Amino acid sequence: MQLARVIGDVVATRKDPGFDSIPLLLLQPIAADGTSVGRLVVAVDSVGAGVGETVFFVRGKEASFPFHPTEMAADAAIVGIVDQPRIFTD
């Protein structure tokens, strides 16, 4: 999984029916110190994350697991909200 910050969402009227009523959030992947790294990700959300929160998200087919038995063509899902990342060493 990777760390990211929720920075917005995606409004899409026309989309695969599997995404109906599923939140589509915009994520900016981040480093441990909160700086942005890499490109934006559009992710489904199963944990109720909000804009500004730090989350970790999963890539791949596993993205639809939290919605079981619903299946959707998703490759990224927020699976946790980070209280704090703890770095003990680098």
CB–CB of 45/78 below 8 Å?
Answer: yes
Q: Which tokens belong to 45? A: 């959300």
Confirm or reject binding of residue 70 to its own copies (CB under 8 A). Answer: no
Q: Would strands 41-45 and 54-59 be described as parallel, antiparallel, or unpaired?
A: unpaired
Of 29, 34, 69, 70, the one binding its own copies by CB under 8 A: 29
Of 21, 23, 34, 39, the one binding its own copies by CB under 8 A: 39
State the residues that interact with its own copies by CB under 8 A.
1-3, 5, 7-16, 18-19, 24, 26, 28-29, 31-32, 36-43, 46-48, 51-52, 56, 58-66, 71-77, 79-90
